[in-house]
Amino acid sequence: MRAILVVDMQEDFCPPNGSLAVEDGREITALINSLLPLFPVRLATQDWHPTDHVSFASNHAGKEPFVDFTTIINPENPEEKIETRLWPDHCVQGSPGAALIPELDTSLIQDYVKKGTHPQCETYSAFCSPFRKPRGFGDTGLARKLRDQGVDEVWVVGLAADYCVQSTAVDAAKEGFPTFIIEEGTKAVDPSEWEATGRMAVVEAGVKVVSIEGEEVKSIGWKQD
How far apart, in whole angstroms, are the C-alpha atoms of residue 109 and residue 104? 9
User: What residue type is assigned to position 56 of the chain?
Assistant: F
Q: Among 48, 87, 177, 180, which residue interacts with ligand VGL (rule: CB under 6 A)?
A: 87
Q: Show contacts with Zn ion in window 144-203 (CB under 5 A).
A: none
Residue 102: which residues within 8 A CB-CB, separation 6 or more? none
Helix (H, G, I), strand (E, B) or coil at 26: helix
Catalytic residue among 47, 164, 171, 174: 164
Cβ at position 224, least distance to ligand VGL in Å: 27
Q: Among 35, 160, 172, 217, which residue interacts with ligand VGL (rule: CB under 6 A)?
A: 160
Q: Are strands 2-7 and 69-74 parallel, antiparallel or unpaired?
A: unpaired
How far apart, in whole angstroms, are the C-alpha atoms of residue 225 and residue 217? 14
> Would you count residue 89 as binding ligand VGL (CB under 6 A)?
no
Going through the chain in order, the beta strands assigned E by DSSP cover 2-7, 41-47, 69-74, 77-85, 111-115, 153-159, 179-187, 208-210
Catalytic residue among 115, 128, 162, 187: 115
Going through 50-146 in order, the beta strands assigned E by DSSP cover 69-74, 77-85, 111-115
> Would you count residue 89 as binding Zn ion (CB under 5 A)?
no
> Would you count residue 159 as binding ligand VGL (CB under 6 A)?
yes
* Sheet-wide strand order for 179-187: 111-115, 41-47, 2-7, 153-159, 179-187, 208-210
Catalytic-residue membership of 187: no
> Would you count residue 163 as binding ligand VGL (CB under 6 A)?
yes
Residue 171 interacting partner from ligand VGL, Zn ion, none (CB closer than 5 to 8 Å by kind): none
Output the CA–CA distances (angstroms, integers) from residue 65 to 16, 155, 207, in the order listed.
Answer: 19, 30, 29
Which residue's CB is nearer to Zn ion, number 18 or number 116? 116
Binding mask 38-77 for Zn ion (x = CB under 5 A): ---------x------------------------------
Residue 54 interacting partner from ligand VGL, Zn ion, none (CB closer than 5 to 8 Å by kind): none
Output the CA–CA distances (angstroms, integers) from residue 26 to 42, 112, 151, 165, in the order listed.
Answer: 19, 19, 28, 15
Catalytic-residue membership of 115: yes
Catalytic-residue membership of 152: no
Which residue's CB is nearer to ligand VGL, number 11 or number 47? 47
Binding mask 31-50 for ligand VGL (x = CB under 6 A): ----------------x---
Q: Which residues contribute to the site for ligand VGL (CB under 6 A)?
A: 8, 13, 20, 47, 87, 124, 159-160, 163-164
* Residues found near Zn ion in the complex (CB under 5 A): 47, 116
Among all residues, which ones are annotated catalytic? 8, 115, 164
